[in-house]
Homo-oligomer: A and B are copies of this chain.
Amino acid sequence: MTIAPRLMTGFPAPEQQQVTIANWRTAPFSRWGFQNVRELLPTANIARSDSPTSLPSEPRYLDDVTFAGLDGAAMTLPQGLRAIDTDGFIALHRGRVVAEWYANGLTPSTQHLIFSVSKSFCGTLGGILVAAGKLDPDALVVSYVPEMKGSVYGDCTVRHLLDMSVGIEFNEDYLATEGSIVDYRRATGWDPVPAGAPAAPHLRAFLTTLKHDGTPHGETFHYVSTNTDLLGWVYERACNKPYAKILQDELWAPMGAESDAYIAVDSHGAARAAGGICATLRDLARFGEMMRNNGVSNGRPVVPNDWVHDIRKNGDAAAWSRGKFTVLFPNGNYRSKWYTPDVAREAFSAIGIHGQWIYIDPQAETVIVRVSSQAIPFDMPKDVLWLGACRAIADRLSQ
């Protein structure tokens, strides 16, 4: 086992420990960066509930749960958590915390960046807005955001954004050093604009520049983060409120969050709906538990039951099979920004790069959350390991 290097010690930290906007999403700097996003970027607060949903504790011994490790050999849960760079892990069974584990400086009150788990918040929020009559999933995006006329989004619907089935020309290659994703990151403010490079447009302006790739909307699962940022913008227009405030008022506070969350914003106040939420492990567990309970938190309906049902049952397997994520989940699907990794099982998941996961197994009455600082954004062997771990934990808990 390697000893993790120290970060941000001393004032200022020595250069090899100094986390800045130029290195914060690369290892080893990301370990500090993912826990301190607000010290690196402008952010908007998402205020907690005045009456948090209780999260009772009922510890279970899980250290002997085993599953296949990276080399295929069996490993235990503590070994597995360390092998995949876990910063925090919590497991709930029937709403009770059966295991909770922190590393790398994370505490129960630390807000960890959850990357694309943010998307599942956005998709869930959509259901609340639809039920409130504020959002029509079948409406054209341009009916909310006319600025999208002439872009790839000119003739697509809110549903296409929700399900990632826009025929967009965008290569979401996290390791690319040029192309659309580089421009995108500069627009969001997550990467600095290098000296001499042209100034970046702000995020909303950037979204209007995106082009069609010729694929009909609705046919193919094509995972592109800008779809979710745009969905956040659609909500803002639908509700006439900033995204962070909508999320706070309609979901975060009503579900009984114990701590504030926050979301990164760009130079013009646009929230990173696709990946910018930071929250505590326990509040993420509350969110997962609410979804397990079909949208009910603390006895109170927050998300419409039928929206959760739709997420769990109506993913488009054909669109999925035409997409590129079959390499990870051959029998999966995606609906309203939630994954069903395998249609043969009931479980559904919110997943973010660098190892962020909410795993919900209704049959096993289990919710598992993990936040991490995996070095490689999309690290398939670690995802496969983790999905195996989640299934093994759920199996143990439902015994």
Contacts and interface: CB of A to CB of B under 8 A. Distances in A.
Interface stretch (A37-45, A314-322, A352-360, A382-390): A37-45
Contacts of A237: 11
A269 B19 CA distance: 9
A73 interface: no
A18 B199 CA distance: 18
A242 B19 CA distance: 14
Contacts of A13: 268-269
Contacts of A265: 39
Contact of A43 (B39, B267, B270): B39
A40 B42 contact: yes
Secondary structure class of chain A's binding surface, majority of residues: loop
A252 interface: no
Interface string A12-24: 1100001111000
Contact of A242 (B11, B42, B236, B268): B11
Interface residues of A, number: 32
Interface string A86-101: 0000000000000000
Nearest to A199: B195
A20 B199 contact: no
Interface of A: 8, 11-13, 18-21, 38-45, 47, 109, 195, 199, 202, 204, 233, 236-237, 242, 260, 265, 267-270
A109 B109 CA distance: 20
Nearest to A267: B20
Contact of A11 (B18, B40, B45, B270): B270
A108 B307 CA distance: 36
A268 to B, nearest CB: 5
Q: Which 4 A-B pairs have the closest CB atoms?
A: A11-B236, A12-B268, A39-B42, A39-B44
Contact of A44 (B12, B21, B38, B42): B38
Task: Identify which of A20, A233, A260, A267 gathers the most chain B CB atoms within 10 Å of its CB.
Answer: A267
Contacts of A268: 12-13, 18, 20
19 contacts: A11-B204, A11-B237, A11-B270, A12-B202, A12-B204, A12-B268, A13-B269, A18-B268, A19-B269, A20-B267, A20-B268, A38-B43, A38-B44, A39-B265, A39-B269, A40-B42, A42-B42, A195-B199, A260-B260
A349 B139 CA distance: 57
Contacts of A233: 11
Nearest to A11: B236
A154 to B, nearest CB: 18
Contacts of A11: 204, 233, 236-237, 242, 269-270
